[in-house]
Amino acid sequence: MTIASTLVVILAAGLAAQLLAARLRIPAIVVLIATGLLLGPITGVVTVPAGSEEVSALIGLGVAVVLFEGAMDLRFGEIERVGKGIRRLTLVGPPVAMILGALAAHYVGGLEWPVAWVLGALLVVTGPTVIIPLLRQANLNKESSSLLKWEGIINDPIGVLLAMLTLLYILIVDAGADGDLEFIARGLGIAAVVVTVVGAIITAVVLGGGLGYALGTVFRRGWVPAHLKSPLLLVSVLVVSSLADIVVDESGLLAVTLMGVVLGNMNLAEREQLLDFKEGLSVVILSALFIIIPAQLDLDQPAGDQLAHHRVRGGAHVCGAPSHRGARHHRLPHPQG
């Protein structure tokens, strides 16, 4: 099957799964994953190479679009209603989740500390690709919906950076673990983390926030024809995500999140029109993502290896964690046992 035929099958099956889930009134993710398993490892109709850097890069761009669409719906007015809960979930929640996740991974899962800390950072990410579709189907009040929406969208880039920074620190310390270099290595590791955090924030503000404000200003002044606004916005999201990742590894999601928040709070006359376009596009992207990920499973491999590999790599793809760019050249010690 050609690449074009495979793409058509994935898109058609994804939308069919969405319609079936809506008809049965069940979460679409359940039907999408089942469809991916059926088309991939069970029947072999769709073949997606596991670990392909090209597929990973495309998935990363898809997640960026979904994250931007969710960020455009974050309104500063919601902070006035549930600000205390948002601050707890986005400021206190990530480090607490990382620590508890690492402790569970080490003492319950038997993983070595380096692997446990990286896994704990990955578990911070709940992921807008999961939260946003569920919120569309759940009948929650405004306060609960706002809390979950902010947590899922804001913590996604935070979790990505935490995982990348944890891995960066561990690799630097591990390189100087022998002899008198350990103390120097720890200092270099901390310095590298601080520099990366500052660089990621500056990159996100300049590229994401700057371009978001510039686009909003251009739209307000009527310099862009109505039929070109949505396409321009889509291409801008992809460009910002790619450029930010080039400047500071894994800062793309933070940049597009800030871009979405800035643009969404500029009270543009065409805001609802842009959101409708982005929401429709996000549904298509999510449908494809949740079919591609399970389609990469190989039934001939041991179940334990499948679970370990795809829980980290597949989950990282869908949630936007660093499994395909900055971390692809690095290796951590294998877990004990």
Long-range contacts, stretch 272-280, CB < 8 angstroms, 24+ apart: 273/229, 273/230, 274/72, 274/229, 274/230, 274/233, 275/69, 275/72, 275/73, 277/230, 277/233, 278/65, 278/68, 278/69, 278/72, 278/230, 278/233, 278/234, 279/69
Kindly state whether residue 250 falls inside one of the protein's structural domains: yes
User: Alpha-carbon distance 200 to 162, whole Å?
Assistant: 12
Q: Which of 145, 144, 150, 159 is nearest to 76 (CA)?
A: 150
Q: What is the pLDDT of residue 300?
A: 67
48-84 confidence digits (pLDDT tens) = 776 678 888 888 899 899 899 889 989 898 888 888 9
Kindly state whether residue 239 falls inside one of the protein's structural domains: yes
Kindly state whether residue 335 falls inside one of the protein's structural domains: no
Q: What range defines the domain where residue 273 resides?
A: 3-319
pTM above 0.85, yes or no: no
Into how many domains does the chain fold? Answer: 1
Query: What burial class does residue 15 get, using C-beta atoms within 10 Å of its C-beta: 0-12 exposed, 13-18 middle, 19+ buried?
Result: middle
CB of 275 within 8 A of CB of 72? yes
CB of 291 within 8 A of CB of 46? yes
Query: What burial class does residue 194 get, using C-beta atoms within 10 Å of its C-beta: 0-12 exposed, 13-18 middle, 19+ buried?
Result: exposed
Kindly state whether residue 324 falls inside one of the protein's structural domains: no
Residue 50: which residues within 8 A CB-CB, separation 6 or more?
296, 297, 298, 309
CB of 121 within 8 A of CB of 159? yes
Kindly state whether residue 170 falls inside one of the protein's structural domains: yes
CB of 309 within 8 A of CB of 31? no
Q: What is the pLDDT of residue 51?
A: 65
Q: Which of 166, 176, 171 is nearest to 197 (CA)?
A: 166
| Residue entry with tokens 């291409």 | 235
CB of 277 within 8 A of CB of 1? no
Kindly state whether residue 336 falls inside one of the protein's structural domains: no
- C-alpha separations of 84 from 77, 98, 196 in Å: 13, 21, 28
Kindly state whether residue 198 falls inside one of the protein's structural domains: yes
Kindly state whether residue 329 falls inside one of the protein's structural domains: no
Q: How many CB atoms lie within 10 A of CB 192?
A: 15
DSSP state of 95: H
Q: What is the pLDDT of residue 88?
A: 92
Q: Per-block average pLDDT, block size 10, for the chain (337 residues)?
A: 88 94 88 92 84 81 90 89 90 94 94 92 82 77 88 90 92 75 84 95 97 95 92 95 94 95 91 85 90 81 46 42 40 39
Helix 142-175 × helix 76-87 angle, to 10°: 60
CB of 213 within 8 A of CB of 258? no
CATH assignment of the domain containing 73: 1.20.1530.20
Kindly state the helix (H) or strand (E) to which residue 156 belongs, with its residue range: helix 142-175
> Can you give the length of the chain in residues?
337
Residue 227: which residues within 8 A CB-CB, separation 6 or more?
none
| Residue entry with tokens 């041991």 | 302
